[in-house]
Every structure is written in structure tokens, then in C-alpha cells.
A and B are shown apart, each in its own frame.
Chain A
């Protein structure tokens, strides 16, 4: 399952699995954010191409209005996925500690 909610100001916390069954839920939430937003991925266990599509759409929208989406707490596995997909060139990524 997926959980997504506001964290500290400027942060959205996503946890669980961002798969094809949950992508619409994530997109509906992120469609409401504005400005520069950090997506805390430290509890995000899994992402598929459907989830990548959500992130891409959100980044495009925020960049168009002068903001952006940053990704923090990114696990080694997710870093690999972001690397293979070229998302490490499209997003500011902070690895998990």
C-alpha cells in the first residue's frame, strides 16, 4: 500500500509502494502541491514505471511555474532505478543516510 501526506513545511512524505495500482492516488495528491517541494522517500520501499510517471509529471508542472520536486532519503535500490531511467539528471536526489 501507499501512504502520502504533508510533512514539515515544504515536504511531502511518501511511504510504502508506488506501483501501478497506487499511482493515481499519488498523482492526485501531488497535483495539489506548489513551489519547491521535497519528497521524503526514506520510507518508500518500491517504485515502478507508473510511479516514475507520477514524479515526471509533477516535476514538469512545478518547473513550469518556477518550482521543483526534490527527492530525499532515496535508498540504494531506488537510486539504481533513477539512474537507469535518467531521473538522476532530472531531479535533485539526496541519498538515504
Chain B
């Protein structure tokens, strides 16, 4: 399916709770439909949004601010920015690697979310503004790029 040309950014805020996930997925599905983005990309986008959103909920628990999600249809895919407010910095692009070759005895839950994103997204960037205590994570996924490229 050929994606629509680059589209306007759509933005929504969500309360920092796992209970917000259904609303988050409704937002992504709705945007994909309205902007004609290749639906084959939606599971990967939902995965990335969920992993980053749940990290924000779990690891920035002292913040009470809503999380903002901005989405834009781009050539061949979509760009997403997630903004977290009143938080300490945590650069998701520098999270430790997970050894997925370990036998089951050595495997522990946790850490797989960011590991998957490194493989499945075209790119992911992290920015932190200290004076505003604001984290911005921007990632892109297109149909043209091979996974992990």
C-alpha cells in the first residue's frame, strides 16, 4: 500500500497509567486509518509506543503529568514523538543490551522492550531538556527500511 504524502502532526495526551493503553492504541489506529498509513506498520508502532509509554509510567512514577504522543504520517510510514514532563533523564537509546542467546535458566523478564525497538524501528532519538525537565523520544518506522536498519 502506498502511504499518503507527509501529513499534519496529530497530538494527544494520555494519563500515565497502564489503563490508558486502550486509548493510546485507539489513537494510533485512528490516525493510521485517517492518514492512509500502511496498516502493516501498526503493530510495530503500537509496540514501540507501549514499551516507551510503560517505561515512562514505571520509571518516572514521581511525575503526575500526562504523556503527550505526537504522530505524523511521513513518506512510506510514520514518525512518533513521545514527550514526558517533570521527569529525570533516562536515555532509552543507551539502555543496556540484552543477551537473548542465553539458555532459559539465564533469561529474566525485563529489558526486552527496548531491545525489540532497536531491531524493529528505523531510528530512535532521545532528547532531554534539563530546564524544563522534559524528555522527548522520537522514532520512525517505514515500510521501505529493513528491520534494524
Contacts and interface: CB of A to CB of B under 8 A. Distances in A.
Interface of A: 1, 17, 19-21, 45-46, 48-50, 52-53, 56-57, 59-60, 63, 77, 80-81, 84-86, 89-90
B116 interface: yes
Given A19-B21, A53-B109, A90-B107, A84 B47 contact: no
Interface in B4-30: 18-19, 21-22, 25
A21 B21 contact: yes
Sorted nearest first, the 5 A-B pairs with minimum C-beta distance are A86-B100, A53-B109, A49-B113, A49-B112, A84-B119
Given A20-B18, A80-B120, A84-B120, A56 B107 contact: yes
A19 B44 CA distance: 13
A56 B51 contact: no
B120 A89 contact: no
Contacts of B104: 56, 59-60, 63, 90
Contacts of B130: none
A81 B116 contact: yes
B101 interface: yes
A59 B112 CA distance: 16
7 contacts: A19-B50, A20-B21, A48-B50, A49-B109, A49-B116, A80-B120, A80-B147
B47 A48 contact: yes
Interface residues of B, number: 26
Interface in B114-134: 115-116, 119-120
A25 to B, nearest CB: 12
Given A49-B51, A53-B109, A84 B18 contact: no
Majority SS at the chain B contact face: helix
B143 to A, nearest CB: 13
B115 A84 contact: yes
A50 B18 CA distance: 11
B113 A48 contact: yes
Nearest to B44: A77
A90 to B, nearest CB: 5
A89 B109 contact: no
Contacts of B101: 86, 89
Contacts of A49: 51, 109-110, 112-113, 116
Given A80-B120, A89-B101, A57 B50 contact: no
